[in-house]
Amino acid sequence: MEVVILGTSSAAPTMRRWLSGTAILREGEVLLFDCGEGTQFRFMKAELPRRKFGKIFITHLHGDHIFGLPGFISTMNLGQRDTPLTIYGPKGIRRYIDFILNFPRTTRLGFELRIEEFPPNHEGVICEEDDYVVTSAPLDHTIPSLGYRFQEKDLPGKFDGAKADALGVPFGPERGLLQRGEAITLRDGRVVHPDELVGPPRKGKSVAYITDTGFCIAARRLAADVDLIIHEATYGDDQLDMALDRKHSTIRHAATIARGAGAKKFVATHFSTRYEGAALAQLETEGREVFPDLIMAHDLLRIEV
């Protein structure tokens, strides 16, 4: 599984940083979290396949997280997309999408567009597939905002091929049955049980995506024991009052959440445009005082999970 940070700026783009958007690549599928202005350009720059993603998760309805949707939807339509696209988000996202599609009164989509809205206090499952689940929790922002957790379901244990050979288990469906937890009977009548050849289940990988929010205990719950947490770090200590007033996090807040959640990796992102050069380096210093191994995001950063 790989995560690609498409944009790292808060509120407005800079010459070096574009707006919020993060992609998760897994098993040939691409999931997009937030879609700020210019996301489709970052998508192309990162060489991500537009035809291989079918889900967009929106945290909240501020422009720097949704203004990329009109262009993205239009481009997919012009590209003759014919597979469904589902957009998940807080209540109000359907009205915004309806406006995009109906304002010019010329947009006729050639693909199915599904909208899944959730109340601002929703905590629980957003989307569930055979091998993963996406859950959400309400964050603490000036408007309703949802944080997300992508969680793979537990994977089968490792199959001991050498031992299977020694036991005379043939190549073919028999091995698949064992890996799925079913016993098999060999031609000579011997019964082979899964626990003889298959190790214990392997815990699935997980990613938490948390922005925009002030310091928020719900974010720590959402990110508990996560492999990777991506958390907004809009301000430094020098702008603590502004962070509290605008319900954003300082990098120290974000690092505290990451450490308290027991996250294995922490990526800080969503930096205010005031932080460049030495100011951005100071931001990093403050974060490392709490979470020494933090990763400062930059546009098009790729992270293996």
Catalytic residue among 64, 212, 227, 299: 64
Q: Quick count: other Cβ atoms within 10 Å of Cβ 95?
A: 12
Report helix angle 93-102 to 69-78, nearest 10: 50
Cβ-based neighbours of 271, under 8 Å, separated by 6 or more? 8, 9, 10, 17, 233, 234, 280, 283
Would you call 286 helix, strand, or coil by DSSP? helix
Is the CB of residue 283 less than 8 Å from the CB of residue 271? yes
Q: Is 165 exposed, middle or buried (0-12, 13-18, 19+ CB in 10 A)?
A: exposed
CA–CA dist 205, 6 (Å, integer): 21
Q: Quick count: other Cβ atoms within 10 Å of Cβ 239?
A: 17
Active site annotation includes 241:
no
Q: Computed from CA positions of residues 277, 281, 282, 287, in that sequence, does the dihedral angle turn out positive or negative?
A: positive
Cβ-based neighbours of 227, under 8 Å, separated by 6 or more? 205, 206, 207, 263, 264, 265, 305
The catalytic site residues sit at 64
